[in-house]
Structure 1
Amino acid sequence: MRAAPDLPPHRKRLLLRCWRRGTREMDLILGPYADARIQDMTADQLAAFEALLVENDQDLYAWITGQSPAPAALAAVLEPVRRFHGIG
């Protein structure tokens, strides 16, 4: 996790949640993505990303890697994560 002293507290908390998921695979997928993007997310993008973080790691991993189809409501949030990592 990069040091983020200039981020507002809410964004810092989300960044920490991305790096402390529970499975190392999701830490390594969501952590670098959040490091690179969380500062520039709009309020709407941030709310959608936060909604994504309540999903369990096994489902998120399957959706991001394409092992199973993602719910339509999360597709717009998952796609930038997939592109960031060159998946799909």
Structure 2
Amino acid sequence: MSEQKAFDATARKRLYWHSRRGMWELDLMLVPFFENRFDELSDEDQYAYQALLAEEDQDLFLWLMRREMPGNQALVPIITQIVDYAENTHTSDVRPL
């Protein structure tokens, strides 16, 4: 039997659609990360990603562009993973400052 995942197929689809923010810069970072890395994340990181998606687009932009870091330190590791993924896979023409 396969390992139990934190998010079932329905919840995963919901997270995918929440990853599509409508802001080009965010979409270029969040969607590829979700499609290629989400299933490999620990349960803790998956929940952090879910919490991250609940934040406002303006805040996500500042954090993913490394202009600011969130007050909630629990989000810092997932933000770092998303930025590192974008930088290392060249999935984005947007380069964090």
TM-score (norm 1): 0.78
Alignment of 1:73-88 (within 5 A): 73-86=74-87, 87=96
Mind listing any 5+ residue stretches in structure 1 that lack a counterpart? 1-6
Identity of matched residues, %: 30
* Alignment partner, residue 56 of structure 1: 56
Instruction: Kindly indicate whether structure 1 or structure 2 has the higher relative contact order, using CA contacts under 8 Å at least 6 residues apart.
Output: 2
- The question of 1:16 aligning with 2:14 is answered no
Quick check: which has more Rg, 1 or 2?
Answer: 2
* Cα distance in 1 between the residues matched to 2:67 and 2:13: 30
Is 2:40 aligned against 1:40? yes
The unaligned stretches of length 5 or more in structure 2 are 1-7, 88-95
Query: RMSD of the alignment, in Å?
Result: 1.8
Letter of the 1:60 counterpart: L
Q: Deviations over 1:12-40 (max 9, x none)?
A: 11012112x13222111101110111222
In the alignment, the residues of structure 1 paired with residue 13 and residue 42 of structure 2 have an alpha-carbon distance, to the nearest angstrom, of: 15
Q: Partners in 2 of 1:16 and 1:44 — Cα distance?
A: 20
